[in-house]
Structure 1
């Protein structure tokens, strides 16, 4: 079978992770197109792949006969670019958040359904070894009914992080610490709990990072329809990027995640599952990104080649986004809201 022809739209900070993943997938793909509004960034990305064309025009995407496009652009551009690529018959794997509002996310899902092409949303932490084991145990009922959950994200984003033309704005980033950083832990919690959300009561504020208009801290109580109460806290004005912590509590035991390592305690028996990131020095980019983009990207290619379902498709990607936007709505209205 011929290789997939792959392109990337957006060659900024996160692109180093994609470059490494593409090299690891060289048996299945040819990287033939790199686009960024700053042509030097696209040129720099393309030079690592023989025959790869670079451009600073999104419209050039449709001249390349691509099979898969990766969308790594500012959040507010995702909807337009994803829908355009799907309508052109190109499979799309987009970075999170898939959009900055629900109507845009639903438009993307409809475009995928209408075109018959694949749409995936990056939530690479679902591929952590211990998370996969934990999900299997929960789904088999080994923890009994899930009664509670909490997540804690205490990271640091210096003012320089927002030195660009879109971050830190409601209109283009769509929010702050929730939609950009904590969305990953929110996705893991809702994925492991395995239930729809009933209501959200949350609060956001900007306390320290006064150079931006979006929130730098958020907290919420979230009730799932299975009765689980989820306590959420996130901030990006801490002094460093501490390991994310998550706990899922069931009637028979507890699952805890710290960083990329997972501890399972059921009926007094404890097991620790260390991620490959704990043992590996080959992860590219910031260490808090982990090394799991490759796992999801490779699986997306396999789904494209085999015409099999995408694990984290548009509907899955919308779940965490709905929770994030629910916290924003609750805070704005200063009341509990139902999803």
Structure 2
């Protein structure tokens, strides 16, 4: 089988995770380009792969039969890079968020469909074994009607985290603060697990401990799903350390949840067990990234090879972004945002 020719665009902090994944998936793909506006970063990444060329401008690789491009650049640039690549028949797997406005997310989806190119969005935490197990339980009906859900994120981001970047903690380049950067994964998991469209969203954002930023460092919201589930979410990066993320789904017959990578099930007080994520590999990077980038990326490569559907495509990747931008809008306007307004795009741009 011919290996996919892969390009890595953005060789910052998270690229160390990608480097490990590419080595594990060397039977499916070869990395032929490393791209970064800082050529030294691109060179450092490229040195790990035989024949990989380091470049500054991603457009240089578009004329060299690239099959898949991975985008791990600042948030605001995701849509522009993805659209140009897809128009050149290159499949794209981008880090979250896929864009920082719904209109740009929609443009990405439209180009993907028009060009027949694959578009995937990284939400690797869905692929955790415990999370997929919980999803199967919910979909089987064992919990009965879903009544409520919650997610709780309490992390720490100090001044140096933002000082080391020219885009983190900005509205125009990052698209927001703790919601769009840190809490987006837990929001995505909950909406996926609940499995229902949204009726309305009401939320509030504030900056309580990062006076040098204009974006939010704390947020809370209530999301009403069309199946009746009320989802309570809270996120802050004002805590003393990165505590384990907690989420819970409650149904008529019990509840299920996760504490970081530990999943638990409690049905009718009879069926109770815990399920830890098993991983034999030493994965570089932050522990809260988890160990499932490799699972999602392998899944994406197989969808390209077999021309099959992408599980977390643009439409799926847009759902968490939709919720986050609606929370921002609700807080700014101090009112509840209803689904018909959300579907129309609201003022998310």
TM-score normalised by structure 2 residue count = 0.95
TM alignment of 1:268-307, pairs within 5 A: 268=269, 269-277=271-279, 280=280, 282-307=282-307
Q: Distance in 1 between matches of 2:272 and 2:40?
A: 51
Q: Distance in 2 between matches of 1:313 and 1:129?
A: 20
| Aligned-pair CA distance for 1:167 | 0.9
TM alignment of 1:4-43, pairs within 5 A: 4-43=4-43
Secondary structure, aligned partner of 2:147: strand
Secondary structure, aligned partner of 2:45: helix
CA RMSD in angstroms comes to 0.8
Q: Distance in 2 between matches of 1:318 and 1:28?
A: 27
Secondary structure, aligned partner of 1:276: coil
Cα deviations by residue, 1:183-231 (Å, 9 ceiling, x for unpaired): 0000000000000111011000001012221100000011000000000
Instruction: Please name the residue that 1:78 is paired with.
Output: 78
| Aligned-pair CA distance for 1:165 | 1.1
5+ long unaligned stretches in structure 2: 340-349
Secondary structure, aligned partner of 2:216: coil
Instruction: Please name the residue that 1:49 is paired with.
Output: 49
Q: Distance in 1 between matches of 2:203 and 2:61?
A: 40
Secondary structure, aligned partner of 2:2: coil
Q: Which runs of 4+ in 1 moved over 4 A?
A: none
| Aligned-pair CA distance for 1:64 | 2.5
Does the Cα contact within 8 Å between 2:134 and 2:257 map onto a contact in 1? no
Does the Cα contact within 8 Å between 2:5 and 2:67 map onto a contact in 1? yes
Secondary structure, aligned partner of 2:17: helix
Cα deviations by residue, 1:63-106 (Å, 9 ceiling, x for unpaired): 33100000000000011000000000000000000000100000
Does the Cα contact within 8 Å between 2:35 and 2:42 map onto a contact in 1? yes
Instruction: Please name the residue that 1:177 is paired with.
Output: 178
Q: Is it true that 1:92 corresponds to 2:100 in the alignment?
A: no
Instruction: Please name the residue that 2:63 is paired with.
Output: 63
Q: Is it true that 1:113 corresponds to 2:96 in the alignment?
A: no
Instruction: Please name the residue that 2:347 is paired with.
Output: none
Q: Is it true that 1:308 corresponds to 2:275 in the alignment?
A: no
| Aligned-pair CA distance for 1:326 | 0.5
Instruction: Please name the residue that 1:321 is paired with.
Output: 321
Secondary structure, aligned partner of 2:86: helix
Instruction: Please name the residue that 1:158 is paired with.
Output: 158
Q: Distance in 2 between matches of 1:267 and 1:237?
A: 37
Does the Cα contact within 8 Å between 1:284 and 1:291 map onto a contact in 2? no
TM-score normalised by structure 1 residue count = 0.98
Cα deviations by residue, 1:223-246 (Å, 9 ceiling, x for unpaired): 000000000000011000000000
Q: Distance in 2 between matches of 1:212 and 1:73?
A: 21
Cα deviations by residue, 1:125-157 (Å, 9 ceiling, x for unpaired): 001111111111111101000000000000011
| Aligned-pair CA distance for 1:281 | 5.9
Instruction: Please name the residue that 1:256 is paired with.
Output: 257
Q: Distance in 2 between matches of 1:64 and 1:180?
A: 33
5+ long unaligned stretches in structure 1: none
Q: Is it true that 1:225 corresponds to 2:226 in the alignment?
A: yes
Cα deviations by residue, 1:252-304 (Å, 9 ceiling, x for unpaired): 11001001110011122102111125xx4602101111111011001100110
**Number of residue pairs matched?**
337
Q: Is it true that 1:267 corresponds to 2:268 in the alignment?
A: yes
| Aligned-pair CA distance for 1:61 | 2.4
